Structure 1
C-alpha cells in the first residue's frame, strides 16, 4: 500500500512510498483511509523521533475495509473516524474498535478527520473540569485545533466562555463566532474568577490561569505548546484568601476509556454543522510538507487536513 514514510534522506523528512499492509489484531478493524488531520505534537516530535520507514498519524477518517475478527466495532463499509498512536498517513490502518466512531453517510471525511485528537481532547477536558452550564470557562491557546473545539463545546454546554489568544485583534472576531463571550490576550487579563480552565499552552500561561480559578475550580492541563516549565510563586498553592480547593489535573487522551461513543457523537455534530472544525489548510497528501511547515511555523490557526489517495 502507499503511505507517507519517515525518510531523513528526503528534504522534508517524508516521502510517498510503499509499505506492507497492516495485519489487524482480532480486536482491530482494517480501515481504508480517506483523510487525516495533522496535530502539532505528531509533526514536531513524531517526525524527529520515529525511525525511517515509520508511518505516523493519529487522526483518520475512512471506511471499514474489514471488520474486527472478534465481532466488535462497526461492520464492513461503515464510514468511520479513528484514533491511533500511528498509521493514519497511509491508505490502510488497523485500529482498535474502542477507538473507532461511526460517521453519518455523506459526511465530509476531511472535516470529520479533525475530531479524534482535537475534538475528543476538548470534550474530555471539559468533562474533567466538571459541569459547565452557567459557569465561567477559560480556554487558553484558543486559536489552535483543540482550543477551537473547546470554545465551541463549552458554549454548546452553556458556559460563559473566555478565550485567550496572543493576538485578540486578529482572532477576536473568529473566536466570538466560535462561541467565545470574551477574548483576552492572556489569562491575567481575565476579570474575575473562573470555574474551569482548558489549558493548552503550559508554562507561565498555566501558572497565571491557575491564579484565576475560583474556589472549587479545576484546571485541566491538556497542551504544552510553550515548551516551558511551570514555576509557581510562593503562596500560589495556599488555600486561604479565596484559594480553597482548587485543582490542577493532567490529561492523556489515549488513557481514556469509552472513546468510541465520544468520537461518534463529535462526528455527528460536525456532520450536522453544529461544530465547525475551522479547517485552515486542506490539500492532497503529496503536499504534506507544505502543511507541516505551516503548522510548525504556527501560520495555521485551526486544523490542517490531508486527503489520502
Structure 2
C-alpha cells in the first residue's frame, strides 16, 4: 500500500511511499481509506525529531471495510465507516470495532473524516460541562476544528455560546454556527460564564478562568498558544461570586468511554445530514499533503484540512 510516512529530510517532514500492508488482529476490521483529516497536533508531531523516520501516523480516516473482523465484532465487508486510531494516513488501516462508526451510504467521506478527534473531543467535553440549557458557555479557539464542533453542539444543547477567536474575520461564520457573542479575547467578555471549553491555553486560559462565575468549570482541551498559563495570586481568591471554580484537563484516549462507535456513527450522520458543519477550509488529493501540512503549521488554516486518497 501507499502511505504518508515521516521523513525529516522533506520540507513538510512527510513523504508518500510504499509501505507494508497492516495485518489486522482478530478483533480488527481492515478498512480501505478514502479520505483523511489532518489535525495540527499530528502534523506538528511529524516534524518533531522524536518521531522516527518511516512512521505512519494519522488519527482520522474514513473509508470502506474490505475485510470484516475475524471475530465478528465489527461491521460487514462493504460497510462505509469513519475511524479513529493511529497510522491513518495510508491506503489501508486496521481498526477495532470500538474505534469505528458506520457512515450513511450517501455521506461525503471527506466531510465525515473530520469527526474522530475534533468531533469526539467537542462532544465529550460538552457533555462533561453538564446541563447547558440557558447557561453561558465560553469556547476559546472557536474557529479551530474542536472549537467549531463545540460551538454547534453547545448551541444545540441550549447554551448561550460565547465564542473566542483571535481572527475577527471568523465572527460572522461563528454566529452562523450558533454563537451568540464573538470576541477576540476572553478578557473582553463583560458578563460571567458558567463553563469554558478552552483550546488555547496560556493567557486565554487565565482570562477565561477569570470570567467563570461561582461553581464554574473550565475544561482545557488544547494548548495551541504553546504559552505558559501564569495566574496572578488574586485569580485564586474564593471571594463572593468567584468561589469553588475548577480547572480540568482532557485527553480523548483516556476518556472513560472506551467504546466510541456509537458517538462516531452519530456525529457522522449529523455531518452527512447537514446538521453539523465540519468547517473544511482546505481539501485536495493526498499528493498535495505538503500544502495542507504547511498551512496548518503556519496557522493559516481556521478549520479542517482533508486529503482525498485514490
* 3-state SS of paired residue (2:234): coil
Asked if structure 1 preserves the Cα contact closer than 8 Å seen for 2:12 and 2:47, the reply is: no
- Is contact 2:111-2:271 (8 Å) kept? yes
What is the CA–CA distance in structure 2 between the aligned matches of 1:10 and 1:205, rounded to whole Å?
A: 34
Whole-Å separation in 2 of the counterparts to 1:180 and 1:298: 22
Please give the alpha-carbon distance, in whole angstroms, between the structure 2 residues aligned to 1:18 and 1:145: 30
Q: State whether structure 2 residue 110 is matched by structure 1 residue 110.
A: yes
Unaligned runs of 5+ in 2: none
Q: Specify the alignment match of 2:279 in structure 1.
A: 278
SS of the residue corresponding to residue 219 of structure 1 reads strand
**Root-mean-square deviation (CA), in Å?**
1.1
For the residue of structure 2 that corresponds to 1:151, the secondary structure is: helix
TM-score for the superposition, normalised by structure 1 = 0.97
**Following the alignment from structure 1 to structure 2, what is the Cα–Cα distance between the partners of residues 167 and 217?**
26
Query: How far does residue 70 in structure 1 lie from its aligned partner after superposition?
Result: 2.2
1:38 aligns with 2:63: no
C-alpha distance in 2, partners of 1:204/1:83? 31
Is 2:206 the counterpart of 1:203?
no
Map of 2:264 onto structure 1: 263
TM-score normalised by structure 2 residue count: 0.96
Q: Which moved more, 1:41-50 or 1:116-125?
A: 41-50
The corresponding residue for 1:213 is 212
Give the Cα separation in 1 of the matches to 2:51 and 2:26: 26
Give the distance between the partners of 1:102 and 1:43, measured in 2 at CA. 26
Q: How does 1:165-176 map to 2 (within 5 A)?
A: 165-168=165-168, 170-176=169-175
The Cα of 1:74 is off from its aligned counterpart by 1.6
TM-superposed deviation, 1:247: 1.4
**Structure-1 separation of matches of 2:242 and 2:216:** 9
- Cα distance in structure 2, aligned partners of 1:107 and 1:259: 19
Q: 2:134, 2:158 within 8 Å by CA — same for their partners in 1? A: yes
Aligned partner of 2:27 in structure 1 is 27
Partner of 1:132: 132
Deviates more, 1:231-240 or 1:201-210: 231-240
**Residue correspondences, number:** 307
Cα distance between partner residues in 1 of 2:164 and 2:150: 12
- Distance in 1 of aligned mates of 2:16 and 2:166: 36
